[in-house]
Amino acid sequence: MLRMGAIVLGMLALATAAQAQSVTVKVESGVLAGTQTDRAAIFKNVPYAAPPTGALRWAAPKKPLAWKGERDASKNGVSCPQQMNADGSPNSGSANGPVSEDCLQLNVFAPPNDKIGAAAKAPVMVWIHGGSHRTGAGWIYDGQNFARDGVVLVSINYRLGPLGYFAHPALTKAAGKAPVGNYGLMDQIAALEWVQRNIAAFGGDPKNVTVFGESAGGMSTLAILATPKAKGLYQKAAVQSGGGWFSPSTLAGKEADGVAVAAKLGLENATAADLRAVPADRLIAQTLSGDYGPFVDGRLLKETPSQAFAAGRESDVPLIIGANSGEDSLIGRSLPNASALAAAIPAAVKAPYAAEAAKGDEALVRAAFGDRYMVGPARWVAAEAADGAPAWLYHFSYVGSRFRPMGVTSAAHAAEIQYVFEYWGRRTPESMVAADDKAMAKLMHGCWVAFAKTGAPRCDIDWPAYGRARDQLVEFGAQSGVREGFRKGQLDVQQALVLPTLGLPAN
């Protein structure tokens, strides 16, 4: 079965290669030589910043270096340094293959056109991949169906793990007044700036940009919405399973973490030069259990996204936000300590979870986890955002046909990506995709495309903008439709419990 799937994928790759034609486009750094299929003009491994190596490791990204002649943009680039599986299989972020610190590249999927950039301006979507801010890569995602439908899709790499989110007193001193710590977030903003300067060459409209992402990419999107420096670089945003309730942090606290890491590396009194001389693989091996992602450094990011939304200081743009029914997949397939975890849940929180509790401690813990970290925060962000530009809330519960025979009853974390991209990924042969799967992909993909084009998800489902009074969302599931007061009791109690711990009003 697996061998036949590999043969099918190989045949599809050969067919795509046979259809592809060469195409060139000129950007600020030089000429790119990509490929064009019947669905898209594709340019891969395009530098949007200078290599963040040497003195530029743990520094704000600089503009990309120029090249002479045509740069080959027909092949995937490398992934940013991360822990890869020894057997070469994709890791938890779906990445495999070579890694390098010289990884600040992006990929462009533009509507096919003999004269790239000469046609009408197309909406642009910039995709930020997930992977817990420690794994993943932009090259994994195929944006051809966005291009087919008139959207320029850009997928990006950004620095990950200790190379992307790291602070140390020596680095802060060396930076002077420049921003520090949030290098992955700086990269994402630099990519959006590159889009502003260059996307017109691909037929894209720099005044109609949607930034969107899933998991760590969704969290990054929320951080971008809260970062003043990023305002004006996009006009819409979409957050897929990106949470929304973030604990306050400080540069001093992250510096203390960095000092502890340096000590483990034998660098108790490290200078910036000492730290930059540590091989990337050694640094990553020493910090696999670290906590990464955007934090309040006081320079680039001056408050958490939660604080920004609560105060109305986020970028006021149309927003899609939501989560999945099986977000508990993040805590693993089995919970041997479920009873202890259930016992730790406050009684006031347990009350609305009677139906889940009746199924056992594990069902209770899993439901409470999903609501606490994804479903509840998404609803809260939608409510806070809806005071300005409209927001649309969703819940994804659709289970793919290939998973149902296995007894799967909920949509795992990241399961919606295939449907939004209308692309089944590198490991799912077309033979495993049923007609109802394709119908769901057509529906969701159409909603995201419409949002990019018009600023509202006007698609094949009546999706009302979110409002506190009616508390409506669209559920994408076996029976898709509008739901009112979805899990209201459970989400209300989670919100009342969590927001005060973040210093936010429990509204």
Query: Using CA atoms, how far apart are residues 90 and 80, in angstroms rounded to an integer?
Result: 14
pLDDT at 289: 81
pLDDT at 133: 97
pLDDT at 7: 29
- The tens digit of pLDDT for each residue in 445-454 reads 999 999 999 9
Average pLDDT on 347-358 reads 94
pLDDT at 113: 72
**Which range among 27-41, 325-339, 391-405, 422-436 shows the weakest confidence by mean pLDDT?**
422-436
Q: Which amino acid is at 201?
A: A
Q: Would you place residue 14 in the very low, low, confident or very high pLDDT band (cuts 50, 70, 90)?
A: very low
Contact criterion met (CB below 8 Å) for 410 and 452:
no
DSSP 463: -
HEC sequence for 108-144 = EEECCCCCCCCCCCEEEEEEECCCCCCCCCHHHCCCH
Q: Is the pLDDT assigned to residue 17 strictly greater than 70?
A: no
Catalytic residue among 327, 356, 416, 475: 327
Q: Is the pLDDT assigned to residue 18 strictly greater than 90?
A: no
Q: Is the pLDDT assigned to residue 243 strictly greater than 60?
A: yes
Average pLDDT, the chain: 94
Q: Is the pLDDT assigned to residue 381 strictly greater than 60?
A: yes
Backbone angles phi, psi at 27, to 5 degrees: -115, -175
Q: Would you place residue 49 in the very low, low, confident or very high pLDDT band (cuts 50, 70, 90)?
A: very high
pLDDT at 507: 75
Query: Residue ranges of the alpha helices (H) in 216-264?
Result: 216-226, 251-264
pLDDT at 426: 79
Q: Would you place residue 8 in the very low, low, confident or very high pLDDT band (cuts 50, 70, 90)?
A: very low
Percent of the chain with pLDDT over 90: 91
255 is catalytic: no
Q: Would you place residue 118 in the very low, low, confident or very high pLDDT band (cuts 50, 70, 90)?
A: low
Q: Is the pLDDT assigned to residue 209 strictly greater than 90?
A: yes
Q: Would you place residue 19 in the very low, low, confident or very high pLDDT band (cuts 50, 70, 90)?
A: low
Percent of the chain with pLDDT over 70: 95
Average pLDDT on 464-477 reads 98
Q: Is the pLDDT assigned to residue 119 strictly greater than 60?
A: no
Catalytic residue among 215, 315, 329, 397: 215
pLDDT at 437: 97
Reduced to 3 states (helix: H, G, I; strand: E, B; else coil), residue 391 is strand
Catalytic residue among 413, 416, 422, 475: 413
413 is catalytic: yes
Average pLDDT on 119-133 reads 92
* DSSP letter for each residue of 311-359: HT-S----EEEEEETBGGGGG-S--TTHHHHHHTS-HHHHGGGHHHHTT
**Which range among 42-56, 89-103, 109-123, 306-320 shows the weakest confidence by mean pLDDT?**
109-123
pLDDT at 236: 98
Average pLDDT on 28-55 reads 97
Q: Is the pLDDT assigned to residue 161 strictly greater than 80?
A: yes
Q: Is the pLDDT assigned to residue 13 strictly greater than 60?
A: no
